Amino acid sequence: MRTIRVLTGMLVATVIVTAIQAPVARATQSSGTSLVLATGPFTTVDVPGATATRLFGINDWGVAVGRYESAGRTHGFVRSATGELASIDFPGAGFTVAGALNNRGDIVGWYSLPGSPIRHGFLLQDGRFTTFDPPGSTFTNALGINDRGDIVGRFCVNSVCREPGSGDFHGFLLRDAEYTTLDVPGSIETNAWKSNDRGEIAGGFGTAGGVPQLFVLENGEFNTFPIPTGLALSEDNGGINARGDIVGRYCDASPCRIGPFGHGFVISGGVLTTIDIPGAAGNGTFGINNRREVVGGYFDAGGVLHGYVMQLETRGNQP
């Protein structure tokens, strides 16, 4: 495995892990298709001393990134494939989140300065931070980066930005220093989650009076579809790999906003598999690599938020 690149002085600690072997998913079949993916063992990830931990992205080397809360502050962090942790804090920031990384080890995320409600995007590359915002943005979430260096996410231009799914956000693509605003036609909000190395962008969007749906943007065309359950999609976060597998979160009732409820899912070959952590009050799945390792977060019965890494198992004829 390549060495992950982090800033000098970052905290490195031993990860607390719990391995569980029991199957934790059920599948929703479509058009008579047999189940092709199932869940396997997973590892709980907790940053030592944190009150909440979650993971948002994982690359093909098994390196993952996310966020944790400790002593009233939010920090980004990176976890190696062997379980080593390193904090990520934008210089001078009071709030930092690491949202995704690519196979080169480039990390994107967002931050805010102490006392400021404005959130900015950042790129951490070769140990150096670069800050960026789409024009007019007051709230930038950089949620994905592929090996080409394309960065995707969402932004808001309002003075006060509500949580994703409230109608305030536009998607964006940052490629070769140029921004493209991504709005699904007819939508009231678009959230671009991740971009794979084929240039496909996956995300969620909402329409007036409608249930939020998924989209995949390919060659300039939006392909849109509801999740096969017909239930409410969370527009907050999710992922896509080069195989076209899509992960995210849905709820049993609408709206599906941020909170200690819901289910993770993966869609592969038109089949949705629900990812439910045993004993959890709710969970979500936010990143998937080409080895079909997934990452996310779950709330335990006591309301504590944990991160997790899980290896999906292939069954049937799925390539």
pLDDT at 27: 45
Q: Residue 7 above 90 pLDDT?
A: no
Choose among 140, 128, 129, 141: nearest CA to 56: 141
Q: Residue 29 above 50 pLDDT?
A: no
Can you give the pTM of this predicted structure?
0.89
Q: What is the mean pLDDT of the segment spanning 225-236?
A: 90
Choose among 69, 74, 78: nearest CA to 93: 74
Tell how far CA 11 is from the center of its chain. 23
Are the CB atoms for 45 and 81 separated by under 8 Å? no
**244 Cβ contact partners less than 8 Å away, ≥ 6 residues apart:** 196, 200, 216, 268
Q: What is the mean pLDDT of the segment spanning 204-211?
A: 93
Measured CA to CA, the distance from residue 192 to residue 194 in angstroms comes to: 6
Instruction: Indicate left, alpha or beta for 138 from its phi (over 0: left) and psi (-120 to 50: alpha).
Output: alpha
**31 Cβ contact partners less than 8 Å away, ≥ 6 residues apart:** 270
Confidence of residue 317 (pLDDT cuts 50, 70, 90): low
Measured CA to CA, the distance from residue 244 to residue 290 in angstroms comes to: 9
Rg of the chain over Cα atoms, rounded to whole angstroms, equals 18
pLDDT at 199: 96
- Quote the tokens at residue 155: 């932004």
Number of helical (H) and strand (E) elements in the chain, helices listed first: 0, 28
pLDDT tens-place string over residues 138-160? 999 999 999 999 999 999 999 99
Confidence of residue 236 (pLDDT cuts 50, 70, 90): very high
Measured CA to CA, the distance from residue 95 to residue 162 in angstroms comes to: 17
Measured CA to CA, the distance from residue 76 to residue 132 in angstroms comes to: 17
**116 Cβ contact partners less than 8 Å away, ≥ 6 residues apart:** none
Residues in the chain: 319
State percent of the chain over pLDDT 70.
87
Are the CB atoms for 53 and 295 separated by under 8 Å? no
74: enclosing H helix or E strand: strand 73-79
For the domain 12-314, what is the CATH superfamily, name and number?
Answer: TolB, C-terminal domain (2.120.10.30)
Instruction: For residue 310, list its beta bridge partners.
Output: 42, 294
pLDDT top residue among 30 and 129? 129
Confidence of residue 231 (pLDDT cuts 50, 70, 90): confident
Measured CA to CA, the distance from residue 309 to residue 294 in angstroms comes to: 6
